[in-house]
Amino acid sequence: MSERIERFVESMNIQPGDRVLEIGCGHGLAATLVCQRLRSGRFVAIDRSRKMVAAAAQRNKAYVEAGVASFLESTLERLDLGEKRFDKIFAMRVRLFHDQPELACELAQRWLKVDGKLFFEYDEPMQTSPTRRIDAG
C-alpha cells in the first residue's frame, strides 16, 4: 500500500459513522483504507474511467457486498447523487483540482454537509525515464 495514500487517509480522521465521497478512485487503494475505518458510515467513489471503477469495486468487493461502499462511473461535473451529502470528500491526483481548483472545490462542496470537510492534493506522479531509441547500424 502506498505510504502517500496511507498518510492522506490518516489525515482525514475518518470516524466510524462518516459518510465519505472519493473523487477519482483509481484502483481503489484509498477506498480500502477508508472502508476499514467505517462501521455505520458509508463510502461512495466516482471515477470517469469504467475500467478504474470496475477495478476499485473488485478490490473492495467485500465492502460493496456489505453495503458499505459503492463505485460509480462519473465525472465531478456530471455527478448526480440526489440528496446525498457527505461528512468528508477527498480527491488525490485529480487533474481538475490542479487545473481549475476554484471550479473543482465549488463542484465538490455542493455534496458536503454543512459542517463537512473537503480534502485534496495534487502532485505529479513520478516520471519514468524518457524512452530512448537506439538505431542499430
Instruction: State yes or no: pLDDT of 134 exceeds 60.
Output: no
Contacts of 27 (CB under 8 A, 6+ apart): 52, 55, 56, 59
Per domain, the residue ranges of the chain are 3-101
**Per-residue confidence at 2, pLDDT binned at 50, 70, 90?**
confident
Torsion sign, CA atoms 45, 102, 82, 49: negative
Residues 19-41: pLDDT tens digits?
999 999 999 999 999 999 999 99
- The CA-based dihedral angle spanning residues 56, 57, 62, 68, taken in that order and rounded to the nearest 10 degrees: 100
pTM (predicted TM-score): 0.89
Instruction: State yes or no: pLDDT of 132 exceeds 60.
Output: no
CATH number among 3.40.50.150, 3.40.50.2000, 3.40.1010.10, 3.10.450.50, domain 3-101: 3.40.50.150
Q: How far apart are CA 77 and CA 68, in angstroms?
A: 24
Which of these ranges, 30-39, 52-61, 71-80, 117-126, has the smallest mean pLDDT? 117-126
> Strand pairing of 19-23 and 69-73?
unpaired
Residues 69-115: pLDDT tens digits?
999 999 999 999 999 999 999 999 999 999 999 999 999 999 999 99
Q: What is the pLDDT of residue 123?
A: 78
Q: What is the pLDDT of residue 136?
A: 38
